[in-house]
Amino acid sequence: MRTLIKNGTVVTATDTYKGDVLVEDEKVSTIGSSLDIAADKTIDASGKYVLPGGIDVHTHMDMPFGGSKSSDDFETGTRAAAFGGTTTIVDFAIQYRGQTLHHAMEAWAKKAEGKAVCDYGFHMIITELNDQVEGEMDALVRQGITSLKLFMAYTGVFMLDDASIFKALLRTGKNGGSICMHAENGGVIDVLVQRALAEGKTAPKYHALTRPARAEAEATHRAIALAEIADVPIYIVHLSAAEALEMVTEARDRGLPANAETCPQYLFLSYDNYEEPGFNGAKYVMSPPLREKAKQDQLWRGLAFNDLQVISTDHCPFCMKEQKELGLNDFSKIPNGAPGVETRMSLVYDGGVRAGRISLNRFVELTSTSPARIFGMFPRKGTIAPGSDADIVVFDPNRTVTLAAKTLHMNVDYNPYEGRRVTGATDTVLSRGRLVIEDGKFVGRAGAGSFVKRATRS
Ligand code: URP
Ligand code: ZN
Ligand code: ZN
């Protein structure tokens, strides 16, 4: 099967040029100008960008959480991802206490197999560490699950103590894996939550008011310090606070291999959203919470100057009805998370590139190339080059869309950006050479996506 994408502007993390791209079966085979080659399918990309497919390294499909389950499964979630120009996700499998990592891996593989419409990998969340689990970590890395997520918050559910975190970091120094950290001080947050509830403060906004930026900064600093002592890299997930970014910047200025991601919600939404009337603030209950609008410029600066390397989504949708509503009378019972896998590329293009905050190449780097590099998928994914997977997005930089739950494809009854107009939208998507979205319509197939075995750190 040959597909020729003609007359577009090819954009990678380093280059922008007019060119034609020939895809043969699952791979990019040739790039050139005015390619005159017979193809089974020709896509006219005149006036459009031809981008490497977006890579979202932080999603939670079909994830049990807080007495509920995230409302997208691997089929609806990856379909929505594709509509939004993302062709690979890395989702979080969870080892619950008393379980082996192997069990967790099998459970998540079952959730994805036969459902994912585009490619996927897994990180492993470790909630209990002992000698046997440490041994299993090595096996997991050999199987291509080369990153783990550890939590410094959610006492009694996900949180690990510093000794366990340190042991896990040391192990990655030997097996070539890497640690992603949820950096918030869980102990401090628990005390603040209990105090707020005892004072009758139950509204959604208290979720944010009991998770101060300094609790994120402290944990970020501690995570980096533990990694420094263990002499291994660290990756901070869903960084939201400028105060936490200062910790990452300080470490990077000292030459430490500290990386971090932020997410669109921390760039485009703010604490003010929690003040929306009634129970609306629940739409934005996520951890870490949204921060002050005035601090967002610091995140953008971090993205522009490479103190932040990745924009992922932390896509973890829960419907307002029956799910977020679990916390109607107690903010601490609102399932944490929000939808975002479908809106990332358009939001960041519109609010980043068009607004003059980041270059077009940096946009590609933050949403595709850098996550591929950091998580062992480059150059198979994250770029357009001969031999790379033909995960390609034809992106119209001039089409304006209005974000709305009704017209988006995520399986959730609200959208945090409802009514926002963004310019820059995905037209056509190929996943390993197969058409998944054509002129804005889904033409893919559940189960066509494959597990991506990721490489260790080199
Ligand atoms: O609120 C969030 N972020 N929910 C998903 C779980 C996590 O910590 O990433
Ligand atoms: Zn987290
Ligand atoms: Zn998450």
Given a cut of 90, whether residue 391 has pLDDT beyond it is: yes
Supply the residue whose CA is at minimum distance from atom 7 of ligand 1.
287
Which one, of 50, 73, 51, 49, lies nearest residue 61 by Cα? Answer: 73
Task: Quote the ligand 3 centre to 3 CA distance (angstroms).
Answer: 36
The mean per-residue pLDDT over the stretch 120-147 comes to: 97
**Rounded to whole angstroms, how far apart are CA atoms 427 and 309?**
26
Q: What angle do CA 155, 289, 63 make, to 5 degrees?
A: 60
- Cβ-proximal residues to 265 (8 Å cutoff; 6+ apart), any chain: 284, 286, 290, 314, 338, 340, 416
How confident is the model at residue 457, as a pLDDT? Answer: 87
The mean per-residue pLDDT over the stretch 422-437 comes to: 98
For the CA of 237, the nearest atom of ligand 1: 9
Whether 150 is in the pocket of ligand 1, judged by its Cβ within 6 Å, is no
Task: Quote the ligand 1 centre to 287 CA distance (angstroms).
Answer: 5
**Rounded to whole angstroms, how far apart are CA atoms 310 and 147?**
15
The mean per-residue pLDDT over the stretch 317-346 comes to: 98
How confident is the model at residue 434, as a pLDDT? Answer: 98
pTM of the model: 0.98
The mean per-residue pLDDT over the stretch 150-154 comes to: 98
Q: How do residues 236-265 score in pLDDT, each as one tens digit?
A: 999 999 999 999 999 999 999 999 999 999
Burial class of 38 by CB neighbour count within 10 A (0 to 12, 13 to 18, 19+) = exposed
Whether 207 is in the pocket of ligand 1, judged by its Cβ within 6 Å, is no
Whether 56 is in the pocket of ligand 1, judged by its Cβ within 6 Å, is no
**Ramachandran assignment for 176, one of left (phi > 0), alpha (psi -120 to 50 degrees), beta (any other):** left
Whether 316 is in the pocket of ligand 1, judged by its Cβ within 6 Å, is yes
For the chain, percent of residues with pLDDT exceeding 90: 98
How confident is the model at residue 406, as a pLDDT? Answer: 98
The mean per-residue pLDDT over the stretch 82-106 comes to: 97
Given a cut of 80, whether residue 458 has pLDDT beyond it is: no
Whether 182 is in the pocket of ligand 1, judged by its Cβ within 6 Å, is yes
Whether 286 is in the pocket of ligand 1, judged by its Cβ within 6 Å, is yes
For the chain, percent of residues with pLDDT exceeding 70: 100
Given a cut of 80, whether residue 224 has pLDDT beyond it is: yes
* CA 113 to each of CA 268, 409, 432, 447: distance values in angstroms, whole numbers, following the listed order: 34, 20, 17, 6
Going by pLDDT thresholds of 50, 70 and 90, the confidence category of residue 332 is very high
* Ligand number with the minimum distance to the CA of 57: 3
Given a cut of 90, whether residue 67 has pLDDT beyond it is: no
Q: Which two tokens stand for residue 316?
A: 């973890």
* Ligand number with the minimum distance to the CA of 235: 2
How confident is the model at residue 21, as a pLDDT? Answer: 98
Q: How do residues 295-321 score in pLDDT, each as one tens digit?
A: 999 999 999 999 999 999 999 999 999
* CA 105 to each of CA 84, 172, 385, 437: distance values in angstroms, whole numbers, following the listed order: 27, 18, 32, 29
* Ligand number with the minimum distance to the CA of 287: 1
Supply the residue whose CA is at minimum distance from atom 1 of ligand 1.
286
In the predicted model, what is the mean pLDDT of the chain? 98
* Ligand number with the minimum distance to the CA of 180: 2
Total length of the chain: 458
Whether 171 is in the pocket of ligand 1, judged by its Cβ within 6 Å, is no
How confident is the model at residue 18, as a pLDDT? Answer: 98
Pocket test for ligand 1, best of 69, 70, 181, 286 (most atoms within 8 A of CB): 286
Task: Quote the ligand 1 centre to 182 CA distance (angstroms).
Answer: 8
For the CA of 60, the nearest atom of ligand 1: 5
* Cα 52–chain centre separation: 16
The mean per-residue pLDDT over the stretch 61-88 comes to: 97
How confident is the model at residue 46, as a pLDDT? Answer: 98
How confident is the model at residue 304, as a pLDDT? Answer: 98
Whether 149 is in the pocket of ligand 1, judged by its Cβ within 6 Å, is no
Exposure string (b/e) for 3-32, b if CB count within 10 Å is 16 or more? bbbbbbbbbbbeeeeebbbbbbebbbeebe
Going by pLDDT thresholds of 50, 70 and 90, the confidence category of residue 66 is confident
Give me the amino acid identity at 37. Answer: I
* Inter-residue contact 47 to 77 (CB < 8 Å): no
Q: How do residues 207-217 score in pLDDT, each as one tens digit?
A: 999 999 999 99
Whether 324 is in the pocket of ligand 1, judged by its Cβ within 6 Å, is no
